Structure 1
């Protein structure tokens, strides 16, 4: 089994883990959270369906104003790069210490970079879904002006 044949299953596994990490990014502290309305007089008067429509309208208005629900960080790419660099260098140093030839050093460095990059990308995926505070403040103010009270995000 050559080097590229062994690398393919690792890349496939990394892609699968990265996809699962994206699915795990939900809840009140994620960018995909939605405002929760307190059942005040306005919500009681208009009903839940109209309340959801007003929430959707405020979410759309925030995005139309140029705001994004998530902070645009490049956490996945940054952590993948860090992981690839650290693991690649560590693998090369390990290969040099054990006295491998130049081809062995290059293979060890490439394998280390692939594993480190995959691990870094997975780590970045778990840290990339941060809510944008300005976006949330905009939506909460929009709803407040319509008479709704936001008690949290879920």
Structure 2
């Protein structure tokens, strides 16, 4: 029971660390050097808020990906279990075992996928980049 609790806490910590998110990397051009890092951070926050207000969403729906991976794993597991069970003469049992193992695999895959670094939507990135460009910054990329 303690091992399960520790594993769950570890997964939650990994997932929350991924929520730190990514942000634009600014080239230190003349404008950036004239305003400094503090003003640049404020401008980035302003452009992010503008993007959200315009309807561009930063998040990629990691929770939805976990659910989709779990369902897909269950479906693939059930199908492969039914095929294996049909060969050995017990398609129903094979299907149940396959669905259970596929769902567990899909859940774990989804959790670890969600824990990885995620990029904001392309619309969000484009909006923030344009906003910063209009202010005088040069965005070299996101990380």
Common fold by TM > 0.5: yes
Contact residue 14 and residue 119 of structure 1 kept, 8 A = no
Coordinate RMSD, CA, aligned: 3.6
The answer to whether 1:44 aligns with 2:37 is no
Partner of 2:47: 58
How far apart, in 2, do the equivalents of 1:118 and 1:83 lie?
Answer: 7
Equivalent residue runs for 1:16-31 within 5 Å: 19=12, 22=15, 25=18
Q: Go from structure 1 to structure 2 and tell me whether the alpha carbon gap of 1:13 and 1:92 turns closer, same or farther (over 3 Å shift).
A: farther
How far apart, in 2, do the equivalents of 1:153 and 1:70 lie?
Answer: 14
Number of aligned residue pairs: 137
Gap regions ≥5 residues in structure 1: 1-7
SS at match of 1:47: helix
SS at match of 2:140: strand
Gap regions ≥5 residues in structure 2: none
The structure with the largest helix share of the pair is 2
SS at match of 1:68: coil
Shift of 1:98: 4.6
How far apart, in 1, do the equivalents of 2:85 and 2:31 lie?
Answer: 69
Contact residue 69 and residue 109 of structure 2 kept, 8 A = yes
TM-score normalised per structure 1: 0.67
